[in-house]
Amino acid sequence: MRPTRPKHAQPAGRDPAVPTAPVPRSAEGAVPRSKTGAPLPAWGAGREEAPVRAAPWPSELAVSDAVGRLMESWGFKRNMGRVWAMLYLSAEPLSAQDLRARLKLSAGAVSMTLNELERWNVVRKVWIQGHRREHFAAEVNLWKMISRVFNERERGWIVDAIEALEDALRDLDARRGAADPEERKLAEMRAARVRQLLDLAMLGKSLLDMLVSSARIDAIPLARLVLGR
């Protein structure tokens, strides 16, 4: 009878101190093989489980944290800045798994952050041949990214303010015809001040439209308004 080898014994001729690459197995435990019968590698083209990228440099983490704080002060979530900066500094697209490993974030946090960044069009999905997993790349044109935010967010705020100020003026104009002289006087004073706010909001909208469309701005109208000329 041929002697059996202990369960944990190493094959003859191999140094037990040298680790071997894991051999992928199917759900039934069988080793997947190619058409020639050779075992498929653990990682490789066409495999779903791609290796995680190398650990980030300290400079990457520093920039990621700095951009995250800046984005948070601008009204966005800090992780949006961190994820975008990590993609921006990467020489190649990264998967969600890469981002989780680099930034020590949960799968849910990375997924939600990527969805928000895609909605702002500052991150896009990238298809890489031989990989099933989605990869992501950052918008590297900084002005294009900032102008898009200005146009979709700040401009909306200004338009809302203009509409509210115009509604207030209509109410004040009605009160200027009140029978009480004190009420008329107060309505006139408030209407004059609201008009100043409305002029400033209209000017801000014009300057923002100019900035978004041409990346140039003419500060002369703003200076005239501030100086009262």
The 3-state secondary structure of 121-135, one letter per residue: CCEEEECCCCCCCCE
- CA distance from start to end of the chain: 108
In terms of domains, do 129 and 151 share one? no
Asked if 71 and 132 sit in the same domain, the reply is yes
| Paired sense of beta strands 123-126 and 135-138, if any | antiparallel
Is there a contact between 112 and 60 (Cβ–Cβ < 8 Å)? no
Which of these three, 106, 140, 174, is where a domain ends?
A: 140
Q: Is the dihedral of CA 14, 18, 19, 20 positive or negative?
A: negative
| Domain boundary residue, one of 113, 140, 167 | 140
* 56 Cα distance to chain centroid: 19
* pLDDT over 60 (residue 28): no
Which of 140, 175, 192 marks a domain boundary? 140
Helix axis angle for 220-227 and 181-214, nearest 10°, is: 160
**In the prediction, which pLDDT does 35 show?**
46
Is residue 114 domain-resident? yes
Co-location of 135 and 62 in the same domain:
yes
Do 170 and 126 share a domain, yes or no? no
Q: The pTM is what? A: 0.64
Secondary structure element (H or E) that encloses residue 159, with its range? helix 155-175
Is residue 4 included in any domain, yes or no? no
Mean pLDDT of 13-39: 48
**Lowest mean pLDDT across 4-8, 44-48, 98-102, 179-183:** 44-48
- Structural domain of residue 91, as residue ranges? 58-140
Residue 90 sits in a domain whose CATH number is 1.10.10.10
- d(CA 92, CA 129) in angstroms, rounded, equals 13
What pLDDT is stored for residue 120 in this prediction?
A: 93
Q: How many domains does the chain have?
A: 2
Tell me the per-residue pLDDT of 178-209, one tens digit each, with 9 for 90 and over.
888 899 999 999 999 999 999 999 998 998 88
CB of 197 closer than 8 Å to CB of 165: yes
What are the phi and psi torsion angles at 200 (to 5°)? Answer: -65, -40
